[in-house]
Amino acid sequence: MPELGVNIDHIATIREARKTWEPDPVWAASAAELGGADCITVHLREDRRHIQDRDVRLLRETVSVKLNLELACSEEILRIACELRPHQATLVPERRDEVTTEGGLDAVLHRAAVQEAVERLREAGIATSLFLDPDPRQIDVAAELRADAVELHTGTYALTQGSGRDEALRMLVAAGHQIRQSGLALHAGHGLNYHNVQPVAALEGMRELNIGHSIVSRAVFVGLGEAVREMKRLIDSAVR
């Protein structure tokens, strides 16, 4: 059964809109856990636009499920990750002018930086995942660098309709196969919602789905615990 990682960055986005103390992502993590989250995911961005250092520190102390920290290959953030030692770190690309993470990490182009990051995280005892497009060359690098997992970027699948979506799903299937054949754990995320999650959850060997925007959006109306429960039900019924 795939695990559900609930990305709570947007709780911090609301807080930062007023530069105040509420809503607190630490409360959100507890509510998500009560709703059945298997993992809490946060992205500590270099520009600190949502999650702050204090959030990661407190989450490290309070989250009782897996804590997954998304980060760019940045010296400052890597140092924080190695100090706080979340259970898992997911390396993502980061541009200051982007609205959200656009596209996967280019592990081919930035191989040296990715290699150094994976090695430092591994030495700190942190499992590493690389957020990659479903591109065989990128997955080859993940295997060569001995990452623990690849999180497939599902943005193209999520954004396209009709036959374009079928083709995007075929690419995810092929990439998933390559990831598992390479001995890495298969994760996926980005743009997944209550309407499109099931075919991705049903990919063979899927281990972890990271979902943020759609769950936080639904939480506005039904509460975070219920929003997580509904997503868990969809994931579970997709693989039964």
Contact residue for ligand PXP among 101, 128, 156, 178 (CB under 6 A): 101
Verify binding: residue 36, ligand PXP, rule CB under 6 A. Answer: no
Contact residue for ligand PXP among 30, 88, 90, 178 (CB under 6 A): 90
Verify binding: residue 40, ligand PXP, rule CB under 6 A. Answer: no
Total residues binding ligand PXP (CB under 6 A) = 19
- Rounded to whole angstroms, the Cα distance separating 108 from 128 reads 17
Which of 43, 50, 153, 187 is an active site residue?
Answer: 43
Tokens matching residue 226 = 């219920």
Tokens matching residue 189 = 């995320």
Cβ proximity of 57 and 22 under 8 Å: no
Verify binding: residue 66, ligand PXP, rule CB under 6 A. Answer: no
Contact residue for ligand PXP among 130, 211, 219, 227 (CB under 6 A): 211
Contact residue for ligand PXP among 2, 4, 6, 7 (CB under 6 A): 7
Return the closest-CA partner of residue 147 out of 101, 174, 181, 183: 183
Alpha helices, H only, the chain? 9-18, 25-34, 53-62, 75-84, 111-123, 136-144, 155-159, 162-181, 197-201, 213-222, 224-239
Which of 94, 153, 190, 208 is an active site residue?
Answer: 190
Task: Give 165 or 213: the residue with its C-beta nearer to ligand PXP.
Answer: 213
166 by DSSP, 3-state: which?
helix
- Rounded to whole angstroms, the Cα distance separating 201 from 163 reads 19
Is 187 annotated as catalytic? no
Residue positions annotated with a catalytic role? 43, 70, 190
Q: What does the binding site for ligand PXP look like in residue numbers (CB under 6 A)?
A: 7, 9, 43, 70, 90, 92, 100-101, 131, 151, 189-192, 210-214
